[in-house]
Structure 1
Amino acid sequence: MEKLAERDEEEKILATVFSECTAGRGRVVAISGPIASGKTALLRSFAQDAADAGATVLEATASSFESHHPLGIIDQMLRGRRLSSPSAEREIRALLEGVCDSVARVDESRALRQISLPILNLLHSAFQHLTSSQTLVVCVDDAHFMDVESLQYLLALMRRMSNAPILFMFSYCRDLGRNSVQRIIQAEMLRMPNCCQMPLNPLSLTGVAAVLGDYMGLETAGRLASEYRCLSGGKPLLVHALAEDHTTAGGTHEAGTGPDEHGRPVAGPAFGRAVLSCLYRSDPVMLELAQVIAILGACGSLPVVARFCDTAPESVRQVVTSAGLGGLLDPGFLGQPSVRKAVIGSIPPGVWHAMHSRAARLLHDEGAPALAIAEHLMLVEEKFPWANRVLREAADQALVEGNREAAIGYLRKAYHTCADRREQAGISAKLTDVLWHHNPCAAKRYLPDLVAAIKNGYLAVQQSVQVVMNLLWHGEVAQATSILALLRDGSGGQVTKRTVSYVDKMCLWLPLAYPGIASGVGRVDTAPLNVMAPTSAPEHRAVAALGAVLGNGHEASAVHAAELALREARAGVASPASSMAALATLLYSDQLDKASVWCDSLLSGAGEKHGTVWKAMFISARAAVDYRLGDLANAEQQAQEALTLMSPESWGAALAVPLAFLVLAITAMGRYKDAESYLEFPVPDAAFETLGGLHYLNARGHFHLATGRYDAALQDFLACGHLMQVWDVDCPAAVPWRTDAAQAYLCKGLLPQARELIAEQMALLPPGRSRTHGMTYRVHAATLDLEERRPVLLEAADIFESRGDSLGLAYALTDLSHACKALGDRGQARARAHKARALAERCHAAPLQESLAAVFEDGPPAESMSERHWPAPQLSKAELRVAELAARGSTNEQIARKLFITVSTVEQHLTRVYRKLAIRRRTELPSRLGEAVQ
């Protein structure tokens, strides 16, 4: 016999009863217990043991589908059995085949009629023949579903064969099956003097652990026993199913078996199948009721279930609390996702749709939560007049709970089923706003219809402003401008104080987000300084702070206001747009340490709180901070991650921001081919009307400068400066276009122009020692005579070091080492170069490391070592002609005219000359070219 958990006592009783039967004493055993309590396993195990011991075993399993078939159970037992004689077999077979005519039907509402003595005599002869040579064991599983006729005749045989070696065994569930059968079992069978009643109890913790031990280690089984017993109710069948789920998942809680939000185990597919099989073996009404409860989910209270089934709540309560079910319809079972999925999956497709439709109507009438009703609305095609309102409410609730995908699904369903154009426009606006936060490209398809809806007056002003923001994100400047002008003029016919405030709020942001079009829509002035007071709204403070910094005024107050807005954002009372403006304020104030901390704080929950778009923007800000701190590798990584989060189409005009800092970082690392490939990305024209476009022009200019295309670099830097001046955002710390352009002028040999730009920038800088001061001093040093450079570069290096800009410090020290070497102080030159090289290696700035090679000397006398360390570079004749003219002060255009070549060819020759001579700028050509020629 197979070992059954915690059934030792029952097995001993059955062994004793069997021994008594073999001695010629008839016995009856009634095994009772709820569904899945192990009755069938115990019955089959004993039947197998009895057969192995030489007994004749007759087995039958009752079913609700055959419960009205007269003598169906006896037919199962005797079919195929050899009886006393061929004539007896024929008589019994004829009896069973013609039973519908020969056996009276039983009326459940009246007393049972008398049984037929001829039939009873035939059956008695057959059973007596089977017991003539060996013990006979008659097993009926699920006896509560027996046909009444079979039960009556078996009872009669029990009374007549009490002294024969025959054992009748029945397993049954109380309160299940036909009422007449239950009455007979309780009133007659259980009252027989030779009847042994055997109720089965649920498995204890020890029993559950014993079952689990066959599937997993003993330690794991002991640890999970308590939770699995609670989940299974101690039912062996369900414990085995849970163990199977655990094994299938490899103990890693995959396939739906991991803990829920409360740390409790969640059943998997095997558990769901096991519960469904139990429901199939119960009365059909049980399965139908389970399907209703599963469909209704958390809203399936007894009164609601009763209304769904058009029956009395008390009737439902009696079924749900039936002892035979053993709590199988409790929420603890049907509430498990795998069980609910299995039960709902058992519903036929046609019935399934009808049930969801009925559930939606019923739950709406009951005032159920919108999310519960929407679950059903999503699965039916039937239209209800109230459906769109419910779906919109459900979308709002889903967003509050962080379930964005569900919210989008509800809104799309509402959009496609809505017939009213005004209401559909409102739904479309909401859907577009939700989509934008995670996938702006998906939101773009709704914009044309929304623009038409605004013009037709279908959208409220607040929704219209959101549409304008969406249009601007995607670079649809013309449409955004016209709609915003329409809203400001009030020609939409819906002007109130509140609606005007929405438009004014948008216009407050516009000069900072899209300064290129701000004047075209009636630009408002930057918020006054008192708006940065703590009593002001976070958005106003953030805008005012950024405006103050870009306008080169009140930097200290702006930084304070920005940090206040960021603290409010962390507390959840400020928008992500405010956070972005506040970060830009810190960045443009050279408060890189503070910006770094706040970037990390915002990124810790950006994706969950605000969506993919804002997370990508915060990562771009992090890239900007890393670049300005000289951490080029991290800047590249962050910019790459930002670009990976969204497609270029989803980035819209904002694509310029991560691209700019990616190009800046890899250009500084000397990976010019990579930088050039990123510059080939198509950037929307509208990007150059934003602050992000300034950074892109700056990055492209630095790429041209690093690759010797000085005219192209100068063009980008001056274009950037022109825009900043026109937009009144000429803040050197934001984009230092003057120092950048000055470097380009120096490379072209145009010293006066470079000095003029440096003087302008120095006049704009506020008092202090910011990173921008260090950049300005460093470029300023290049415009001075050799003897004057050292103190200025020392000041620049000191500033870079205090501000944490490793790359700026490396450049300043490199310039200082070259100056010291040119002045004959080779010891100081090497000392500065060593530190610069260490910083350059840490920053991964390969070009800087190459330029330092000219400073170092190793070992013996300087003269001989210098020749060995700097072998005479092999310049071609064309390169030498270009280099000589450049060394005399000729511009690229002048060289091109004199040599009858293009400016581009001049730039290419100079790039190769600089690389061969190991120099970085035009002013170094005279001295280094002389060494090369010698």
Structure 2
Amino acid sequence: MIHGRDNELTALGAQAAAASHGETRCAVLTAPSGYGKSALLDALLRSPACQDMTVLRGRCGGASAGAGAYAGLRTLFAPADAPAPDHHPEAAGADDPAVFLPGPGDGRPFTLTSAYPVFRRLSSHVLRLTADRPLVLVLDDAHHCDEHSLRWLDFLLRRAAGRPLLVLLARSSGAQLRAPRAWADLLAHPAVSVTSLGPLGADAVGGLARQVFGVPAHPLLAQQVAAVTAGNPRTVERLLGELRSQGAAPDEAGAQRASELGGAMAAGSVRQLLDREPPEVRSVATAIALLDGTRPPECVTVLADVDQAQADEAIAVLRHAGALTPDGAGLVHEAVRSELLEPLGSRRTAELHARAALLLSDAGRPVEQVAQHLMRMPCAQEPWMSAVLRDAAARAEQRGAFAEAAGYLRRVLEAEPDDAEARLRLALAVAPEDPLSAVPLFRTALAGTPDTFARAGIAVQYAMACLSLPLPATCRAEILGALEAARDALGSGPERDRLRDQVAAVLLLMGRRGTGVAARQHPVTAALPYQPRTDLLQAEALAGLRTALAGHSRETALKEARHAVAAASPQQPPWLLFTAAITLGLADETTEAHRALDAMLRRGGDEPTAWVRVLAGSLRSFLLHRDGAVLDAAAEARSAIDTVDRTGCDVRLVAARAVLASVLVDRGEPRQAERLLSRMGRTEPHRSALASLLYLHARARTRWATGHPAQALRLLRECGWAQETAGVQNPVLAPWWADTCLILAAVRRPADGRELAEQGAERARRWGTPRALGLAALAEGVLTPGRAGLDLLTEAAHQLSTSPAVAEYARAEHALGQALLQYGDEAGARERLRRAAGIAGGCGALALAESARRLLVSAGGRMGHTPGTPAGGLLTTTELKVAGLAVSGASNRQIAQRLFVTVRTVESHLTNVYRKLGVRRRDQLVVALRAVHGRSWPLPGWPVPEGA
């Protein structure tokens, strides 16, 4: 059975069919040694296309053929031994070619005058054969064919036009031709076509593996065998046979064994090859191994110290031996590289890498290719090497491949430890992968920079890159000192205005807006070793966040955040999209905020690191919780916490744990929330302002839920003081003022909360989102008695129903139902409480749902299905995504990779979906979803990338 050669066999069969119908054809079959040329010819001659044809077959270069003129033809027409089995009787006769063909050893040079009598008689003999039946002439190893034989074939093709004749020549590609000029003339004939055999692909290797093992092979095994053998059929069969003899199975484990064994076989073959080849072949092989697929042809010749002809010949030898990939671009296995480079020793290898780097640089190759050779040297010994490594790092930064950039910059610092720019760039490159390791780099860069404004630029990057960390107090003091010094010294001008916006935003995030004294400690200097570039996009993103946190202009904040998201590129640090997502979330553009986080995870040349996942997951959990997706928020928070735990770092994620505690309160488990927060201890002053606010707000909610209103009020006032101190006046970040009003109303102290409610209402009107306006109306409504209070609560429910704040909407309906019950309107109360219970239960706020149910029962009602809120409609956005992907056939692992979450998170979401829809299996999801939304409703799924 011929595997992977169906197309070639079909093409040759078409040539045979054409010859059978009177068209003279010649097909030249070329391939490296071991590619199965002879096997393909055997299959053709056994096929129906050649069934009624006379076949004459010979092999050039064989011992029986002898040497000299007409050696190839003698193997066809006058073999020294007995006639070949496939020769038909018609091949013999009175005018036998053995009579007029010169014998072996005839070394006369070719001239048409001397050859013509032989040519004419032999052509007449062939034409007589074609008179009775179509004729096939087959010559194997035709690269050894002599000039007389090739010239006669050319002569025959011209004389036999219109006769049923097929000439098949098989020659090894890349081999030295015995008669190159005769080959050139023959190939120029219009009846001649050339068929080249390529390497076997994975499918063909899989077919061979099934034939060897008797069972289907794993696709990975076929891929590994095809790669390590360069698709050479002979080597493939040898490797498969060796695997079987060693007891390996054709599975994934067998694929790993195939890679190891195939690499060893390839290395052994190269070793044997180089032992019998001239030194030039080893030199070329070493140059190819060193250049590692980045080689311009001229670099190989210079590095190997050979001329181009020697290089071409050596490459052909290596390719035919299976040491190189079929295109000759690289080695088939690392074992071959080791076999070639290990004997050189480290010193000689370093010298060759330095030389290769110079050659590639002179040839104008990409700087990353040059840098790869410098990275394999013990150190960057010369100034030009550091310059190349800096350029390579810049290219990697532009692609977002920060891990690669970090490697280049570390090598620069080994050679130039006082390079402040390289140290800062290294800190920025390391931070996405490992912010803990970036801290000392930022500190050194900050300490080594005397200029006030340059220090501020470094401090901005330092603070934002380490957002996911609780920085030690000394680090926080360094950042704050640099920022406050610059703020106090900044004058006017576009560049300084941008820096001022960044400084103000970071100070806001860190909870500091007062005047500092550090400016006197670090005066402005004229000389500056390195001035960090003020990135316009980063400045715009931070300016938008500052506007949002200050609660000044929603439109301005949105404009700046959206532009930052739209213009973000891989070279930007991950925190840029994180910052924009906070702004979009505070502005209730939740979908855009989640898209920004998705882009943050997908961006760049590197896979999202654990710390980037933690940063995105912490913010996503916060956004989901404030929108009422309680279970989604819990899953995201736990995923972020688990990710940090897997890194082995003792870092307590305040934001994620605060969200998780609030979820536990919503779920009616405040004692567990209290235990979670108590394990964190008090929020330390070195934590970010946002983390501290979330912690204080969660702790206050926990105290209120456990029956300690006084302590809850104290914590909420502390949260408010922290916001005011930091300059955070956005009413929806941590709405401590609204919760304070609700508690004061519950403990019957409404007068104490009116001033706070008015202040919150003023800030809500300035920010202008339905969430903010609804919370303001809710705070005022619970403090206001009578019809005026009911009107305010009605307005709160209306505003919140148009916002993403599902849980807050349920709370407003609950408060309105409770107020109507006290007012004596039991029918109206039942309607509101039933709605509150349904919404709260659907989004996972079980404590609020249970409270609404109790009030509903006390009002004479009972809980049934809430009109207008079908179960499927209560699926969160993430649950809908997971359900859609599950319906489209994605596995849990594929869904996790598509949504950048853990498999455990996907399982949690699916459990919630099954519970809400009342199903138990995946195959029931389609029916359940369309029963809720209608048969025309499109399933919310996406194509799953192959191999995910």
Query: Which TM class, normalised by the smaller chain length?
Result: 0.5 to 0.7
Aligned residue for 1:449?
Answer: 444
SS of the residue 1:730 aligns to: coil
Kindly state the Cα deviation for residue 442 of structure 1 after the two structures are TM-superposed.
1.9
Q: In the alignment, which residue of structure 1 is the partner of 2:705?
A: 706
Summarize the alignment of residues 214-229 of structure 1 with structure 2, pairs less than 5 Å apart: 214-215=211-212
Which string of whole-angstrom CA distances, capped at 9 and with x for unpartnered residues, describes residues 760-793 of structure 1? 3223331767112222333333323366544333
**Structure 1 residue 736 displacement after superposition:** 2.2
In structure 2, which of residues 382, 387, 404 is the aligned counterpart of residue 385 of structure 1?
Answer: 382
| 2:226/2:236 contact within 8 Å kept | yes
- Distance in structure 2 (CA, Å) of the matches to 1:594 and 1:234: 49
2:234 to 237, 241, 263: 237
Matched, 1:782 2:782: yes
Check whether the contact 2:288–2:295 (CA below 8 A) recurs between aligned residues: yes
Q: Which amino acid aligns with 2:480?
A: T
Aligned counterpart, 2:668: 670
Cα distance in structure 2, aligned partners of 1:516 and 1:457: 18
Indicate which of 308, 311, 317 corresponds to 2:312.
Answer: 317
Quote how far apart the aligned CAs of 1:296 are: 1.9
Contact 2:286–2:341 (Cα < 8 Å) also in 1? no
Q: Would you say the 8 A contact 1:36–1:278 is kept in 2?
A: no
Alignment map for 1:707-726 (pairs within 5 Å)? 707-726=706-725
- Alpha-carbon separation, structure 2, partners of 1:761 and 1:461: 34
> How big is the shift at 1:231?
9.0
Q: 1:505 to 1:758 in 2, by over 3 A?
A: closer
Q: Which residue of 1 aligns with 2:623?
A: 625
Shift of 1:807: 1.3
Contact 1:238 1:275 in 2 (8 A): no
Assess if the C-alpha contact under 8 Å between 2:509 and 2:690 holds in 1.
Answer: yes
User: Displacement of 1:702 after TM fit?
Assistant: 1.4
Aligned to 1:279: 270
Alignment of 1:136-175 (within 5 A): none
Q: Deviations over 1:1-27 (max 9, x none)?
A: x99999xxxxxxxxxxxxxxxxxxxxx
Q: Residue 363 in 1 paired to residue 356 in 2?
A: yes
- Who is 1:888 aligned against? none
2:700 counterpart letter in structure 1: G
Name the CA distance, whole Å, in 2 between partners of 1:451 and 1:213. 64
Structure possessing the higher radius of gyration over alpha carbons? 1
3-state SS of the aligned residue for 1:454? coil
Q: Which residue of 1 aligns with 2:841?
A: 841
Shift of 1:516: 0.9
Native 8 Å contact 1:542 1:581 kept in 2? yes
Structure 2: segments with no counterpart, 5+ residues = 6-29, 40-170, 179-195, 520-534, 863-948
Cα 1:506–1:356 change in 2 (3 A) is: farther
Match for 2:508: what amino acid? Answer: L
2:634 alignment partner in structure 1 = 636
SS at match of 1:562: helix
Q: Offset of 1:506 from its aligned partner?
A: 3.8
- 1:487–1:787: structure 2 CA closer, same or farther, 3 Å change rule? closer
Letter in 1 for 2:320: G
Preserved CA contact (<8 Å) 1:360 1:374: no
Decide whether the 8 Å contact of 2:289 with 2:340 is kept in 1: no
- Spell out, residue by residue over 1:703-741, the C-alpha distance to the aligned partner (whole angstroms, 9 max, x if none): 222122222221221122223333433221233222222
Distance 1:297 1:860, change over 3 A: closer
Shift of 1:690: 2.2
Q: Using the TM superposition, give the Cα deviation of residue 439 of structure 1 relative to its aligned residue in structure 2, in angstroms.
A: 1.3
Q: 1:547: how far off?
A: 3.7
Matched, 1:434 2:429: yes
Asked whether the equivalents of residues 481 and 517 of structure 1 are also in contact (C-alpha less than 8 Å), the reply is no
Check the 8 A contact 1:781/1:793 in 2, yes or no: yes
CA contact (8 A) 2:264 2:335 kept: yes
Is 1:514 equivalent to 2:510 in the alignment?
yes
Report the alpha carbon displacement of residue 325 of structure 1 after superposing the two structures with TM.
Answer: 6.1
Distance 1:644 1:203, change over 3 A: closer
Contact 2:764 2:773 in 1 (8 A): yes
Structure 2 match to 1:882: none
Correspondence for 2:754 = 755
Inter-CA distance 357–440: structure 2 relative to 1 (3 Å threshold)? same
Q: Secondary structure at the match of 1:519?
A: coil
How far residue 857 of structure 1 moved from its aligned partner, in angstroms, is 4.1
CA distance in 1, matches of 2:827, 2:395: 71
Q: CA deviation at 1:246?
A: 11
Contact 1:290-1:334 within 8 A present in 2 as well: no
Aligned to 2:449, the other structure's residue is in SS state: helix
In the other structure, the counterpart of 1:855 is 855
Within 2, Cα distance between the matches of 1:549 and 1:861? 43
**1:388 CA drift (Å):** 3.4
Structure 2 length normalisation: TM-score? 0.58
**CA distance in 2 between partners of 1:667 and 1:606 (Å):** 38
CA contact (8 A) 1:320 1:329 kept: no
The verdict on how the C-alpha distance between 1:238 and 1:398 changes in structure 2, with shifts beyond 3 A counting, is farther
SS for the counterpart of 1:516 is coil
Number of matched pairs: 657
Secondary structure (helix, strand or coil) at the match of 1:422 reads coil
Q: Which residue of 2 aligns with 1:564?
A: 563
Of 577, 585, 588, the match for 1:587: 585
Partner amino acid for 1:696? Y
Q: Distance in 2 between matches of 1:745 and 1:391?
A: 63
Question: Does the 8 Å contact 2:393/2:404 carry over to 1?
Answer: yes
Query: Are 2:293 and 1:295 aligned?
Result: no
1:326 aligns with 2:320: yes
Q: Residues 242 and 444 from structure 1, CA distance in 2 versus in 1: closer, same or farther, beyond 3 angstroms?
A: farther
- Kindly provide the CA deviation profile for residues 779-817 of structure 1, in whole angstroms up to 9, marking residues without a partner as x: 333323366544333322222222243212222222333
Counterpart residue identity of residue 671, structure 1 = E
Structure 1 residues not aligned, in runs of 5+: 7-31, 42-171, 184-200, 258-266, 524-535, 863-934
**Take 2:206 and 2:791, find their aligned partners in 1: how far apart are those partners?**
80
Q: What is the one-letter code of the residue matched to 1:446?
A: L
Q: Which deviations, in whole Å up to 9, do the C-alpha atoms of 1:426-449 show, x marking residues without a partner?
A: 433222211112210122243443
Partner of 2:132: none
- Contact 2:665/2:701 (<8 A) preserved: yes
Give a deviation string over 1:642-668, Cα, whole Å, max 9, x none: 334446999999944333333222222
| Alignment match, 2:659 | 661
For the pair 1:375 / 2:372, whether they are aligned, the reply is yes
Which stretch of structure 1 is more off in the superposition, 448-457 or 281-290? Answer: 448-457
Percent of aligned positions that are identical: 21
Inter-CA distance 703–279: structure 2 relative to 1 (3 Å threshold):
same
> Would the aligned equivalents of 1:550 and 1:729 in 2 still touch at CA under 8 Å?
yes
CA distance in 2, matches of 1:271, 1:739: 70
Look up the equivalent residue of 1:849 and give its one-letter code: A
Aligned 8 A contact 1:357 1:380 in 2 = yes
Residues in 2 aligned to 1:766 and 1:39: alpha-carbon distance in whole angstroms: 83
Aligned to 1:737: 736
TM-superposed deviation, 1:215: 4.1
State the TM-score, normalized to the length of structure 1. 0.59
Q: State the alpha-carbon separation in 2 of the partners of residues 791 and 333 from structure 1.
A: 79
| Contact 1:667/1:702 (<8 A) preserved | yes
Counterpart check, 1:346 vs 2:342: no
Equivalent position SS for 2:381: coil
Residue 574 to residue 567, structure 1, CA distance change in 2 (3 Å): farther
Moved more, 749-758 or 511-520: 511-520
Deviations, residues 279-322 of structure 1 (Å, cap 9, x unaligned): 23324244564243212212344443333334444333333234
| C-alpha separation in 2, matches of 1:488 and 1:557 | 22
Q: CA deviation at 1:631?
A: 1.0
Residue 507 (structure 1) shift: 2.0
Structure 2: how far apart are the matches of 1:607 and 1:662? 32
Q: What do residues 346-381 of structure 1 show as CA deviations (whole Å, max 9, x unaligned)?
A: 247462423431222212321254433443444443
> Which residue identity lines up with residue 365 of structure 1 in the other structure?
L
Q: Once the two structures are superposed, what CA deviation does each residue of 1:841-872 show, in whole Å capped at 9, x if it has no partner?
A: 2122222233234334499999xxxxxxxxxx
